[in-house]
Amino acid sequence: MSTLNQAHCEACRADAPQVSDEELPILIKQIPDWNIEVRDGVMQLEKVFLFKNFKHALAFTNAVGEISEAEGHHPGLLTEWGKVTVTWWSHSIKGLHRNDFIMAARTDEVAKDAEGRK
Ligand SMILES: C[C@H](O)[C@H](O)[C@H]1CNC2=NC(N)=NC(=O)C2=N1
């Protein structure tokens, strides 16, 4: 099986299963710097990326947008001066799917190449 950062998302089906209690600890270990948040009963993956200014934060935001469009799976993105909060979850199943872990790992890859990281 490919590592998460080389994998691709599968189509977001409304009847797709959420990540199981058994899979969750295995998958979260592969994206160690991401936090699990629960909002209105929806489990999400979240990480804050810091930048030197707004310009670099916006460029990273757009780069994450590019991979999201390519994969057809989209995050929550809060872009502020010097900071981008990225949140992944699957709207169609109101929770976490393997797609979210893939995209979190892919987000980390985008961050590695991003300019102006703090
Ligand atoms: C029609 C469109 O492909 C679907 O609405 C996709 C779009 N991007 C998505 N992104 C996320 N995070 N979850 C979804 O369920 C989802 N569904």
Within-domain flag for 19: no
Query: How many domains, in total, are found in the chain?
Result: 1
Q: Is the CB of 107 within 6 Å of ligand 1?
A: no
Report the residue among 46, 68, 73 best suited for mutation to probe ligand 1: largest number of ligand atoms under 8 A from its CB: 73
Using DSSP bridges, classify how beta strands 42-50 and 83-88 pair: parallel, antiparallel or unpaired: antiparallel
Residue-level pLDDT at 12: 82
CATH code of the domain containing 55: 3.30.1360.20
Residue-level pLDDT at 94: 97
The DSSP 8-state label assigned to residue 69 in this structure reads: H
Which residue matches tokens 């809060």?
78
Q: What is the distance between the alpha carbons of residues 8 and 99, in angstroms, rounded to a whole number?
A: 8
Within-domain flag for 27: no
Q: Is the CB of 17 within 6 Å of ligand 1?
A: no
Residue-level pLDDT at 1: 54
Contact (CB, 8 A) for 72 and 12? yes
Which residue matches tokens 């947008």?
65
Q: Is the CB of 83 within 6 Å of ligand 1?
A: no
Within-domain flag for 15: no
Q: What pTM does this model have?
A: 0.96
In the reported structure, the alpha carbon of residue 75 is separated from the centroid of ligand 1 by a whole-number distance in angstroms of 9
Beta bridge pairs of residue 45: 36, 88
In the reported structure, the alpha carbon of residue 25 is separated from the centroid of ligand 1 by a whole-number distance in angstroms of 24
Q: What is the distance between the alpha carbons of residues 101 and 73, in angstroms, rounded to a whole number?
A: 11
Q: Is the CB of 76 within 6 Å of ligand 1?
A: no
In the chain, which residues have pLDDT < 70?
Answer: 1-2
Residue-level pLDDT at 41: 98
| Domain extent for 113 | 39-118
Q: What is the distance between the alpha carbons of residues 21 and 24, in angstroms, rounded to a whole number?
A: 5
